[in-house]
A and B are shown apart, each in its own frame.
Chain A
């Protein structure tokens, strides 16, 4: 198991290193002077020169890359040209909210997607299967931005069932201030027992999380269905049938566990995708996550910030894959030998 882990970790590190170099190259090769983001759109030549000197933008590319990597290894992600704050601090403020949104969405996706997949596999080619397939197809293909606007208009603006936007009612910052530990509001509210903020956050989370969950739910349901149908045609399923187990029992007790392997890998893939996909949802629901930070950074060509966001998403992607690989090792011992 340890060798398996070490191999996976080594591969993950290679991917991250690749992303760092690529991100750096891209951000330095795009046309435009990043110093403008720092010095302002009407900066004087002196102000631009000072900004370039401060951020080493006049150094040769390889030297800049070396400095960037050296600083990264020392935990320094650079300074945002726009916010003038360390990128790591900015990300620390923005990322937890994205994590909260995407985490909730994935929870919804797993809780809904797997049972729906089981249901479709159990009633293959019958009405429930048809319903799940059409539903998941729709969930996967509807543009996320449109879905966000539609749900917001119907359920928040017209029906008033949910808040229009925001993470929680900010008036609560005064009446029941939240003590921060993880910076993830819902987790902090839970561990400190801050029920008003917890309920308000959950209330605000429903619509955006449902929108972000649409795509993963659809894919997970389809994948679970396909994997289960394949498993239920295996030899062990025939034996189980011969032993008198019912179809539902075969699917949930015997076929589900080996079928979960590909579904788990899929969740890792979908997780990183959902973070970036969530940027649009965050914009519609004023969610204070990475989306706003990324959008404003791109608009002002704030290269250290863009690189920071890219690196963070890549890290999440790699980490999620690593976690899934480890989980797969537990779920399916065959994976460890692959």
Chain B
């Protein structure tokens, strides 16, 4: 049995090596200071009593990939929106910016000059005092970094700290700076000297600061209350927050039922229905600012013919799709989602197959005519988009139209799109700051090298109208609403460059003891933990 002995010797040697390495030094995991997440199941603090429970958010993706508030442009918006604040925050009910670090603001010279009065008595997490100079430095740093959504500050020519509490912006061209300052990305004000890319400390003014960050772990991030927050703290608010990464929806649902997590971004339709009848859970639904665009190639191929494009618009089963989405999407009216300046009601599309067939026949295609072959690209792994494609494909086959649909990874789909490689391009669009202008500037303004203008629309009249939008929004919002409506009619009805099948709807599930939750579509998937309290 010599081999037994050798194995034993090898095993002992291995163990010794391990022990030896153990004597060389080690680091402590999750070396934070304050307590880690506890389930909110235990204890029963009443409204006035201290809330020592941890609010647990269950995202299905990594929590933070970029800690720099200047360049961050990804999922970390959920955490960072609770650590950093901007000058304003968007309110989708009033469709206006509301005070945050700025308490009031005025614009002059046709929207080319903006003056913000800043909040007094605000301190950064670093201990530094927030004032106009600090705000100016932060925005200038974000601009210089040119990362993420830094382009939102492009209209800004000059920033002046007039006095400690007055910040004045001079713009190159008119723009709604109050809305830009409410952006979910790149608009955060931070202490430029305290930015830490490793996530060990935070430099914001928000209600929470980082407690622990363990990249790749299940509980990836925990936040703790910033004691000196300018808004103060009430006993029933959550002082601790944890992000527990849960890739599987079914797992998230089980954790929510057991009270181990408090908030799940999205369940599938079956589980969401179950959640609506589960006692320990409550649900919340609200429309988002993200809509699906079906962009038709106006520059080449068979869709160059406006009649083909109009036929395709009419072939989409908008009602059937909304029903099949089971609440995850609602029928759109125009290009601009509800809750934004520029939303046009009464523009809901309808399926009309007879008309579609007639239009196709006029273009030379149809059941008794030539077969029409169209290529379409859409996002791989997106079940909602797949549903649209399946429904459309089966409808079109009856009209002798063959849809060659290809699911693709975004970067591949986008790459092909930039080269004009398809007839129909399906994608979601959402604005970086709460302004309808984003759809028009990015998706429908002429471009020699298209980035997101993937319908390749080139129309000087439309371009001129788009260029007028920022000034109108900055100076006369009522006129802007009218102009937006006219533009949408031109793009959707006249040009038929796009079909908008649905606006995504948020379907949240949260534990029933959480109070004060309200979705804000301008900040996708963000929960403002400071607004929440725990019921007794």
Contact = CB atoms under 8 A, between A and B. Distances in A.
Interface of A: 30-34, 36-37, 40-42, 44-47, 82-85, 90, 93-94, 97, 149, 152-153, 156-157, 164-167, 170-174, 177-182, 187-188, 191-192, 283-288, 292-293, 295-296, 299, 301, 327, 330-331
A83 to B, nearest CB: 5
A172 B66 CA distance: 27
Question: Chain B at the A interface: mostly helix, strand, loop or mixed?
Answer: loop
B249 to A, nearest CB: 10
Interface residues of B, number: 64
A57 B217 CA distance: 31
A170 B240 CA distance: 14
15 contacts: A31-B408, A32-B411, A47-B146, A167-B217, A172-B36, A177-B30, A284-B248, A285-B251, A286-B246, A295-B247, A296-B61, A299-B381, A301-B409, A301-B411, A327-B7
B6 interface: yes
Nearest to B432: A42
Given A156-B254, A157-B257, A286-B246, A180 B411 contact: no
A173 B74 CA distance: 28
A180 B254 contact: no
Given A44-B451, A179-B27, A295-B247, 8 more contacts: A32-B415, A36-B411, A42-B432, A170-B242, A177-B29, A187-B18, A292-B62, A301-B411
Given A181-B22, A284-B251, A40 B412 contact: no
A30 B217 CA distance: 30
B364 interface: no
B375 interface: no
A301 B216 contact: no
Contacts of A293: 216
A26 to B, nearest CB: 14
A287 B217 CA distance: 8
A285 B35 CA distance: 24
B31 interface: yes
Contacts of B414: 32-33, 36, 41
A94 B414 CA distance: 30
A286 B215 contact: no
Contacts of B411: 32-34, 36-37, 301
Nearest to A91: B216
A171 B211 CA distance: 13
B36 A44 contact: no
A167 B27 CA distance: 19
A292 B30 contact: no
B219 A170 contact: yes
A152 B254 CA distance: 9
A181 B21 contact: yes
B505 to A, nearest CB: 21
B6 A173 contact: no
A292 B215 CA distance: 12
B3 A93 contact: no
B301 interface: no
B32 interface: yes
Contacts of B6: 330
Contacts of B219: 166, 170
Contacts of A285: 251
Contacts of B18: 181-182, 187, 191
B28 A170 contact: no
Contacts of B36: 170-174
Nearest to A197: B29
Contacts of B244: 166, 170, 286
Given A149-B250, A165-B255, A182 B21 contact: yes
A30 B408 CA distance: 11
Those 4 A-B pairs whose CB atoms lie nearest each other, nearest first = A32-B412, A173-B30, A32-B411, A36-B411
B245 A286 contact: yes
Contacts of A330: 2-3, 6-7
Given A32-B411, A181-B26, A187-B18, A45 B65 contact: no
B109 interface: no
B501 interface: no
Contact of A31 (B2, B28, B147, B415): B415
A241 to B, nearest CB: 22
Contacts of A174: 30, 32, 34-36
A330 B146 CA distance: 61
B247 A45 contact: no
A170 B452 CA distance: 43
Contacts of B251: 152, 164-165, 284-286
Nearest to A191: B22
B178 interface: no
B430 to A, nearest CB: 9
B89 to A, nearest CB: 22
Interface in B123-180: 146-149, 151
Contact of A177 (B31, B62, B66, B449): B31
B250 A180 contact: no
A170 B216 contact: no
A292 B66 contact: no
Contacts of A165: 218, 246, 251, 254-255
Interface string B8-41: 0000000000110110001111111011111000
Given A41-B410, A173-B30, A93 B216 contact: yes
A171 B244 CA distance: 12
Nearest to A298: B409
A170 B218 contact: yes
A208 to B, nearest CB: 11
Nearest to A168: B218
Nearest to A284: B248
Contact of A84 (B29, B34, B38, B66): B66
A292 B251 CA distance: 14
B73 interface: yes
B260 interface: yes
Contacts of A164: 251, 254-255, 258, 260
Contacts of B3: 330-331
Nearest to A291: B247
Contacts of A32: 408-415
Given A157-B254, A288-B216, A180 B247 contact: no
Interface in B94-110: none
B416 interface: yes
Interface in B380-394: 381
A283 B30 CA distance: 22
A282 B414 CA distance: 31
Nearest to B151: A44
